[in-house]
Structures are given as C-alpha cells and as structure tokens.
C-alpha cells in the first residue's frame, strides 16, 4: 500500500507541474498574440501620449530641430486640416510600443495641455482628444502592427524575417502549445494516447503557423502563405487537424472471461436427421465425417464396402441415469444418501470420516464424481435451475460426452468468508445441483444434488505451500541473476523469503500475495509473487519461504509456518555446439541420398544435455526438432537430391541456454562403377589400380557371379588391390565403390590373363 500511495503522489505532483508550466505557456501565447492590428479609441491616444516624450528624446539624439510657429488664432484643429497634414503613407519610422508609426522627418509630435501638437514645415496644429480619436478612426493617422520578435531569436541574435528567425519562433510556439495540450488533456481526463495526439497536433500546427508568418526570406513560402486559405494561420490549422487525425486512436478496454472447449456436434434430431448425408456418392464416409454430423450418428459396418452412417436409436427418449463415482472420491470421505431430498429428485451427502461434524476441512482440495449409464454431457450449479441449458458450469470443466465425470474444488472456512464479506452470513453448508444430457438431447428434468459442509470454528493450521510455477531444482540461464517466481499457497496468506532458513519475522523479503478468499486461481490455490535476486551461475542457489495465514485477522489468531519451504535454483554455464556434421562433399549412387545431420553439444546444463533444432532459413517459425535429441549427441536423417545445402542449427538446454551454428555441404550423384586404370605384376602378385576407392573381387570362371561370392582382392576402400599371381589363371574382376555402384550382371570391370601381361612385357 505504501508503494501505491507513493505512486499516486508522484503522479499528482507531475500533473501539478504540467498545470503550472501549461499556465505559463498559455499566458506566453496570449501575450505574444496580443499584437495590435488597429489602434482605436482612447486607449490608443493614451499610449500615444505616453510615447511622445520618447519620440522627442529620439529626435534630439538625431539632432533634428524644428522651429514651431504659433498656432493660428481661433484655429480649432479641424479634422480636414489634420488629414491634410497627416495624409502621408508613412513607412520608415520610429516604432513605439503603442504601435503608432510617425516619420520624424515629416512631423513632430508634442504633448500640450490642450491636446496633441503636430508640427510640420514651420506650422503647428493642435488636435484635442476627440479630434485625434476621429483622425485615427478615419485613417488620417496610420497605425500599424509592430514587427516584434520572439524570445528565442532574440537570445540567439537572429535577424528578423530570416529562416532561422522563423524556425526558432516556430519552435518556441510549438513548445508552449505542446505543454498547453498536455495540461488540457490531463485535466479533462484524456488517456495518454489522446493527450499525445492533442499535444502533438497543437505543437505542429503552432510551428507551421508561426514559421510561415515570420519567414520573409524564402519568397516561395511567402507566396504559398498568401495563396493558402486563411494564410499562415489556415496552414497551421490544417497541419494541426491532419496530425491529430493521424495520431488519434479510439480505444476501449473491456474485460472478457471465456473458456475454450472442444466443438461438439449437435444433439437429438437436429443432428440425427443429418446422419444420412454422409452416405452421399460425392465422397466416401468415414467415422470422423459421420460423428461430425450429430452426436447420435454412428458408422455401421466399418472396414467393409458397405460402410453406412446412421442415426442409432432414434427412439431413445430416456435421460441419462446418474450415480456416484466411488473410486474418485478423496480418501477419508464417503457418500451417504440424502434423505432430505424429496423423490423423484435424488442426491447424496459427502461426509468426512475424520473431521469434526463430518464436514470438509477448509482450504483442502476435495475430489468427487458421478457416473452415467450412457455417454453424456453434465453440468453443475450452486443454484436451482429449470433445465440443463440454464446451468452455468460444466461438470469437471469439460463439455465432452463421457461415462465418468469428476470435479475438484477447495472451499474457505465459514469464518474466512464471513470476515471477508459479512453480508453473506455463510454457515458453511453447500448444495450443488447436477444435470446430464445424452447424444439424443434427452436431459434430466430433476436435479441430482450433492451436499456437504465445511468445518466451522477458528483456523488453527498454518498455510501450506503447494508448489511454485518454476520447478524446484530447476536450472536457469547462464548469468541470469534474477527470477520472477510464483509461490502457490492453499489459503490466503502473507509470505516472505530469505536466503537463510530463518523465522517468518526475520525473513528480509516480502511477497505480493492474494489475500482475499475469492482470489483463488483455477488450480484451487492462492498466488504469491516475488523476484528472487542474487542468483549465481555455476552453483546451486538456495532460498527459503514461510507464510502467515488470515491477513484480515488479529495477529494473535494468525498461524505461521514453523518450517521453511526450501527452494533451489541451479545456476548454469554457457551451452556450446562443438561439432556439426556433415561438411564438404557427399556422394551417392541414387537420385536421393540419405544424409545424417549430426550435432554434438557440451557444457550448459548437465554437460551438454539439450534439445536441438534445424532449419534451412534460420527464421523462428521454421525450426524442426531433431529426431534423436535430448542428450549431448543429436541426429537427424535427411533424404536429399543433388545440390548445395546449408542448415542452421540451434540447441537449447533446460536452463534456457542456447547456442547456434550451421553447416554447408554438397550432394553429388555417382552412378558409375569403378574403373580399373592399371593392371600389372608386382612381387609375384597381380596388382590393379582403380580410379576411386573401391572393393574388388574376382572369379576364375566368368563374369556371371554374385559380387559377395567372388574371391576377395585386398584391400577394400582403397584404389590398389592384389591377387595371387598365376600365369595359367584368367581373372574375371568386378569392383564396387563405396556407394554400391557395380558393373551390370554378367559384366566385369576387367578380364585379365597373366600370360598376356607377360607377353606385353617381352
């Protein structure tokens, strides 16, 4: 809970900071955008009057002097006269903070008690406040927006109207707009994706707007801005809308619970009437096709020419008969008829033979079951229902048609339920209702009831650790120093762990546990999660767990483990592939050659014990497991045609260590029998030489002899072979290479007569 509160506080601080920065950004934008487009009314006059002294100061610095003549007597400073004097389209000017532009070489402005004095060409005219206002409104005095410059270009000393001035101005506005978007999104409850879309849209739009509006250097952009609807602002708005459309994603989250069950063919007449469809001449009927049409369909005369699919027993109108399954009931419990149930409904009680009041022990798995007189689907519910389809749960969590049905459950004690949810007022007595349905759709009208109770009274037994998601004494990868672990407990508890066998109070590390009675998982246990740290390679790493039950109870009533649950993780070393075969060139005498892909592994877990895979591409979806694997030697037969081959190899041990390698080889087809290239006498021996490694045999009769019946000529698998030299013999020789190539029947590799060899020497 401390961690959660800390996380909430950090998020609140971040939102406050975003708000503050956003407010500043908003104020900055408002301030930058309040540029005067036209000056009207008294506010303009007052600012003009404040700036007169600044104008005079600037004129004095330039050395400009004007000799004012007296204002003509009785001249009321008419607007027409003012227009005559101020009709100039003034462009080069001193720029005032008020936004008014006046060229000092043409007119001098002074403030007097009567109003504003305008001096020009030796004459002086005076306009009172009302006349000056009208002159401004009528356009007699030209007022323009000052060409101000943003903060970033000023800091970098960039000239006005240049590309860099426009870029820095755009960046400045984009930053402010982005923060403003974050502020708006955060405080209107937008998710992160929508906040990002809004902020990015405002930033890109603001950058585009200010970049185009400020840039005067690139004339092409200036022309584009002037031609675009709405000018620079219109272009920025368009970019903003496009950005938002690209980034915005409408998402919604909804938790859905579902179960994955085998598909079942229809029952009753819906399926039975379709059985004959399997006997169509368009395709042969099989048992699978027959059964898929309906639960009551059956293949008759299987294995003969008269196989037929038919609806077996269509007149069946009897629902399955339910009885208890004695053999599956947990040891220490028995069934008893429940006499409180009125016929024709039936039911049983489950009685504990060694428990108080015959009730089931809390948080202890109980297995029970039923039998049916025919294959049937069965359902179970804790509420009364009108029919089979209204029931919520499959018996044993399966929808298969079976004779035997078993169910396993584990229930909290009444005290635990009442402590967690007092409104339930649980007394520990439960009744479960069962119905079944056969293949013809006949279902039980009356429910079969199974009743039992759970022990009442205080819990006096400590929690039991049933196991972990990672098996004890399991290896892990080399150099892996941490492990995410789940520990399963038979009841809600708080658990801790240590590297030493200590008491619960002295264990250093706490675990995150399911502490509510309704947080039981599908295996009827409660989960505690933690991260084991400090795991060392090449050695055993021992850990110890202990738990304390009833997190909701007073400390004096809680039970704690007095003995630790020991747990060992084995650190390993790297796995290595030390040899891959074959390599080079492989020859065969047939169009398809058998090749054995062989791999040897070492180190890792159990000195190279691993599972190996091969692939022609190395892509993750293409790996095929070796036929012979699981030890340090791995073998796979491949039947290949002529060509070049490359196979990728990967091997993974039980700890997750992996090594990769590859092999390349050529397949060549050799269908030619060996050829004898030389024959001569040497040291009173007949010596022959073949063009490849081979085995040779001969006969003294003719060439028509079986190779294995011939007289051996040492040595096999060599190119040189010998026989006893006899001048009166004729040698009918046949040779076979290592691929089994041999001359055709009744043909020899060579026929040799020693007399002819002697004659050739002479």
CATH architecture assigned to 676-761 = Sandwich (2.60)
Weakest mean pLDDT among 28-37, 83-92, 721-730: 83-92
Tell me what pLDDT residue 118 has. 56
- As a whole-number percent, the residues of the chain with pLDDT over 90 amount to 41
**Digit-coded pLDDT (tens) for 63-121:** 433 333 333 333 233 333 333 333 323 333 333 333 344 444 444 455 444 445 555 44
CB–CB of 122/69 below 8 Å? Answer: yes
Residue bearing the bigger pLDDT, 414 or 128: 414
3-state secondary structure string across 517-555:
CCCCCCCCCEEEEEEECCCCCCCEEEEEEEEEECCCCCH
**Digit-coded pLDDT (tens) for 537-579:** 999 999 999 999 999 888 998 999 999 999 999 999 999 999 9
Residue 35 Cα distances to 145, 263, 346, 551, 672, angstroms: 6, 72, 90, 66, 97
Query: What is the DSSP secondary structure assignment for residue 749, as one 8-state letter?
Result: S
Weakest mean pLDDT among 4-18, 510-524, 725-739: 4-18
Predicted confidence band of residue 271 (pLDDT cuts 50, 70, 90)? low
Exposed e or buried b for every residue in 406-429, given b needs 16+ CB within 10 A? bbeebbbbbbbbbebeeeeebebe
Residue bearing the bigger pLDDT, 54 or 169: 169
Given this chain, do its domains 322-453 and 465-567 carry the same CATH topology? yes
Residue 66 Cα distances to 91, 109, 120, 392, angstroms: 21, 11, 8, 103
d(CA 527, CA 507): 19
Predicted confidence band of residue 187 (pLDDT cuts 50, 70, 90)? confident
d(CA 61, CA 53): 13
The domain defined by 322-453 carries CATH number 2.40.50: no
Weakest mean pLDDT among 4-13, 491-500, 558-567, 634-643: 4-13
Predicted confidence band of residue 133 (pLDDT cuts 50, 70, 90)? low
Predicted confidence band of residue 138 (pLDDT cuts 50, 70, 90)? low
Predicted confidence band of residue 37 (pLDDT cuts 50, 70, 90)? very low
d(CA 298, CA 289): 10
- Nearest-10 Cα torsion for 630, 635, 637, 638: 100
**Digit-coded pLDDT (tens) for 467-486:** 999 999 999 999 999 999 99
CB–CB of 749/696 below 8 Å? Answer: yes
Tell me what pLDDT residue 77 has. 34
Tell me what pLDDT residue 761 has. 53
- Residue 349: strand pairing partners: 336, 451
d(CA 314, CA 298): 11
Whether the ω angle into residue 448 lies within 30 degrees of 0, i.e. cis, is no
E-assigned strands of 133-261?
none
Residue bearing the bigger pLDDT, 327 or 740: 327
The shares of helix, strand and coil residues in the chain, as percent rounded to the nearest 5, are 25, 30, 40
Tell me what pLDDT residue 46 has. 46
Predicted confidence band of residue 129 (pLDDT cuts 50, 70, 90)? low
Tell me what pLDDT residue 749 has. 95
Average pLDDT over residues 400-411: 89
What global pTM score does this model have? 0.54
Tell me what pLDDT residue 333 has. 94
Tell me what pLDDT residue 458 has. 82
Range ranked top by mean pLDDT from 115-129, 213-227, 498-512: 498-512
Residue 51 Cα distances to 123, 132, 716, angstroms: 22, 15, 118
Answer yes or no: is pLDDT of 652 > 70: yes
Residue bearing the bigger pLDDT, 116 or 733: 733
Residue 299 Cα distances to 265, 288, 316, angstroms: 15, 9, 18
d(CA 322, CA 344): 13
What is the overall mean pLDDT for the chain?
Answer: 79
DSSP alpha helices (H): ranges in 626-696? none
Tell me the CATH number of domain 575-669, given options 2.60.40.650, 2.60.120.10, 1.10.540.10, 2.30.30.60: 2.60.40.650
Tell me what pLDDT residue 295 has. 78
Predicted confidence band of residue 126 (pLDDT cuts 50, 70, 90)? low
Tell me what pLDDT residue 645 has. 96
Q: Pick from 105, 131, 138, 103: which is nearest to 117 by CA?
A: 131
**Digit-coded pLDDT (tens) for 429-454:** 899 999 999 888 899 999 999 999 99
* Residue 340 in tokens: 């409180």
Domains in the chain: boundaries: 1-35+149-246, 44-137, 268-311, 322-453, 465-567, 575-669, 676-761
CATH architecture assigned to 465-567 = Sandwich (2.60)
Answer yes or no: is pLDDT of 421 > 80: no
| CA atoms 584, 589, 592, 597: torsion sign | negative
CB–CB of 127/31 below 8 Å? Answer: no
Tell me what pLDDT residue 543 has. 97
* Residue 571 in tokens: 């650190």
Residue 68 Cα distances to 104, 109, 349, angstroms: 14, 11, 122
Q: Phi/psi at 702 (nearest 5 deg)?
A: -165, -175
Contacts of 466 (CB under 8 A, 6+ apart): 488, 489, 490, 525
Predicted confidence band of residue 247 (pLDDT cuts 50, 70, 90)? confident
- Residue 542: strand pairing partners: 568
* Residue 52 in tokens: 């007169």
d(CA 586, CA 669): 9
Weakest mean pLDDT among 110-124, 405-419, 569-583, 629-643: 110-124
Answer yes or no: is pLDDT of 351 > 70: yes
Q: Pick from 377, 383, 382: which is nearest to 398 by CA?
A: 377
d(CA 105, CA 119): 11
CB–CB of 616/664 below 8 Å? Answer: no
E-assigned strands of 195-354?
297-300, 308-311, 322-324, 333-337, 346-352
């Amino acid at each position: 809970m401390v961690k959660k509160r800390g996380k909430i506080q950090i998020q609140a601080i971040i939102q406050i900071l975003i708000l503050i920065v956003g407010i500043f950004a908003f104020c900055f934008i408002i301030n930058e955008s309040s540029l005067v487009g036209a000056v009207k009314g008294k506010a303009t006059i007052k600012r003009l009057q404040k700036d007169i002294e600044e104008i005079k100061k600037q004129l004095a610095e330039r050395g400009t002097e004007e000799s004012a003549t007296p204002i003509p007597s009785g001249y009321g400073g008419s607007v027409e006269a003012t227009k005559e004097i101020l009709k100039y389209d003034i462009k080069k000017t001193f720029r005032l903070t008020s936004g008014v532009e006046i060229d000092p070489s043409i007119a001098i402005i002074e403030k007097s008690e009567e109003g504003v004095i305008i001096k020009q060409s030796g004459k002086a005219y005076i306009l009172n406040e009302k006349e000056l206002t009208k002159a401004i409104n009528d356009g007699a005095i030209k007022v323009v927006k000052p060409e101000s410059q943003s903060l970033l270009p000023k800091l970098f000393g960039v000239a006005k109207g240049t590309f860099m001035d426009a870029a820095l101005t755009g960046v400045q506005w984009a930053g402010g707009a982005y923060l403003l978007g974050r502020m708006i999104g955060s405080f209107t409850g937008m998710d992160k994706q929508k906040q990002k879309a809004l902020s990015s849209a405002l930033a890109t739009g603001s950058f585009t707007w200010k970049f185009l509006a400020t840039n005067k250097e690139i004339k092409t952009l200036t022309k584009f801005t002037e031609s675009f609807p709405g000018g620079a602002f219109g272009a920025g708005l368009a970019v903003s809308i496009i950005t938002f459309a690209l980034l915005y994603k409408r998402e919604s989250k909804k938790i859905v619970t579902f179960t994955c069950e085998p598909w079942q063919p229809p029952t009753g007449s819906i399926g039975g009437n379709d059985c004959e469809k399997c006997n169509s001449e368009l395709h042969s009927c099989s048992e699978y096709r027959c059964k898929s049409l309906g639960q009551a369909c059956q293949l008759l005369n299987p294995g003969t020419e008269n196989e037929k699919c038919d609806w077996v027993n269509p007149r069946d109108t009897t629902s399955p008969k339910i009885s208890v399954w004695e053999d599956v009931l947990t040891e220490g419990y028995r069934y008893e008829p429940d006499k409180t149930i009125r016929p024709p409904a039936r039911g049983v009680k489950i009685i504990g033979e060694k428990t108080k009041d015959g009730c089931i022990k809390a948080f202890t798995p109980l297995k029970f079951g039923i039998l049916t007189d025919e294959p049937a689907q069965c359902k179970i519910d804790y509420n009364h229902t009108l029919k089979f389809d209204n029931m919520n749960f499959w018996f044993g969590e399966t929808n298969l048609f079976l004779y035997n049905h078993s169910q396993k459950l584990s229930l909290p004690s009444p005290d635990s339920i009442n402590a967690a949810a007092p409104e339930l007022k649980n007394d520990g007595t439960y009744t479960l209702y069962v119905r079944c349905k056969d293949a013809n759709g006949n279902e039980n009208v009356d429910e079969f009831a199974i009743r039992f109770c759970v022990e009442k009274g205080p819990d006096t037994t400590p929690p039991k650790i049933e196991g972990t998601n990672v098996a004890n004494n399991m290896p892990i990868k080399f150099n892996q120093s941490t492990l995410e672990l789940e520990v399963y407990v038979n009841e809600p508890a708080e658990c801790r762990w240590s590297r030493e066998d200590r008491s619960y109070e002295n264990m250093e590390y706490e675990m995150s546990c399911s502490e509510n009675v309704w947080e039981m998982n599908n295996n009827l246990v409660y989960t505690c999660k933690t991260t084991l740290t400090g795991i060392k390679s090449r050695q055993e790493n021992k850990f110890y767990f202990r738990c304390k039950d009833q997190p909701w109870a007073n400390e004096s009533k809680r039970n704690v483990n007095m003995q630790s649950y020991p747990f060992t993780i084995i650190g390993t070393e790297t796995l290595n592939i030390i040899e891959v075969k074959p390599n080079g060139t492989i020859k065969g005498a047939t169009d398809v050659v058998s090749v054995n892909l062989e791999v040897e592994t070492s180190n890792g877990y159990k000195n190279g014990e691993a599972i190996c895979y091969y692939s022609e591409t190395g892509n993750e979806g293409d790996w095929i497991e070796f036929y012979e694997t699981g030890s340090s030697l791995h073998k796979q037969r491949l039947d290949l045609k002529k060509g070049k081959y490359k196979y990728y190899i990967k091997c993974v041990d039980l700890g997750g260590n992996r090594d990769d390698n590859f092999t390349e080889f050529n397949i060549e087809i050799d269908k030619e029998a060996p050829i004898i290239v030389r024959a001569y006498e040497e040291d009173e021996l007949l010596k022959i030489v073949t063009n490849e490694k081979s085995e040779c045999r001969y006969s003294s009769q003719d060439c028509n002899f079986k190779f294995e019946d011939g007289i051996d000529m040492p040595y096999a698998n060599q190119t040189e072979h010998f026989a006893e030299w006899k001048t009166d013999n004729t040698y009918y020789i046949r040779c076979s290479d290592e691929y089994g190539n041999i001359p055709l029947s009744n043909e020899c590799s060579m026929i040799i007569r020693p007399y002819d060899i002697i004659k050739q020497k002479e």
